[in-house]
């Protein structure tokens, strides 16, 4: 099976013709096998830009970043190929100064749409912990410094909550996904309720996943399918 998609120059917005490419292969967990995608397709060929998402100072990359995997395994079966906007310096120029997840997602999606002329999707998300007054919230990526490793951040949160009883350790992941096209703007928001555990567990997740528990399992212990069904990003992507 194949996709047929238009090639558009990021700077001039001129269409250069059509590109026919194989539909990407999926592994047993419905991950898109990025090795099965032609590099030029990732950079130039997709009808949707994935948008930008700051994570330890980086944007989405075509070599297996965890965020692009979550987008890809839900959007690829619908015929939508997430792709990088090939615009040097764009990430550094974006100032995420919104007061909410939705505002920051729109800031990023607008920037990508204005730079490429293509429909743009951007995500902004974070963890909101009730005993910490809803923090880190919108500053989740910058909590204790943007370059601080997440194991250090998670350990600091567990230390702050060491005397908090189980019934008060409530928290939620919240996500806003913005879609900007020539026909308008849309924001899809969703949350996942859970609790902060007493220790990090699991090997599959990233960020705050090891300390965020839904039921008896942390996010890092869930399979991709289990996580997509209940996660904040999975629910928002379903709305999208």
DSSP secondary-structure letter at 171?
E
Catalytic residues: 124
Q: CA-CA distances (angstroms) from residue 106 to 12, 36, 124, 147?
A: 23, 31, 9, 24
Task: Concatenate the DSSP letters of all residues of 58-103 into one string.
Answer: B---TTT-HHHHHHHHHHGGGT--------TTHHHH-----SSHHH
With contact defined as beta carbons under 8 Å apart, do 145 and 132 qualify?
A: no
SS3 call for 184 = strand
Whole-number Å distance between alpha carbons of 194 and 213: 6
Q: Supply 16's token pair.
A: 């250069």
């Amino acid at each position: 099976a194949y996709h047929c998609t238009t090639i558009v120059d990021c700077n001039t917005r001129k269409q250069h013709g059509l590109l026919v490419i194989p539909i990407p292969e999926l592994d047993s967990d419905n991950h898109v096998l990025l090795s099965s995608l032609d590099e030029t397709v990732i950079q130039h060929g997709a009808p949707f830009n994935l948008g930008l998402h700051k994570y330890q100072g980086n944007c989405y990359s075509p070599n297996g970043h965890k965020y692009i995997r979550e987008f890809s395994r839900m959007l690829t079966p619908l015929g939508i190929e997430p792709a990088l906007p090939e615009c040097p310096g764009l990430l550094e120029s974006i100032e995420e100064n919104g007061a909410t997840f939705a505002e920051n997602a729109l800031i990023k999606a607008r920037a990508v749409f204005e730079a490429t002329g293509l429909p743009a999707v951007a995500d902004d998300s974070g963890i909101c912990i009730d005993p910490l007054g809803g923090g880190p919230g919108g500053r989740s990526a910058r909590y204790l410094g943007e370059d601080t490793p997440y194991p250090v951040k998670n350990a600091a949160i567990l230390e702050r909550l060491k005397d908090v009883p189980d019934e008060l350790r409530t928290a939620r992941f919240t996500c806003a996904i913005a879609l900007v096209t020539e026909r308008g703007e849309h924001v899809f928001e969703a949350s996942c309720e859970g609790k902060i555990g007493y220790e990090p567990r699991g090997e599959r997740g990233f960020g705050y996943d090891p300390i965020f528990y839904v039921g008896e399992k942390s996010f890092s212990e869930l399979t991709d399918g289990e996580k997509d069904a209940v996660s904040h990003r999975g629910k928002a992507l379903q709305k999208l």
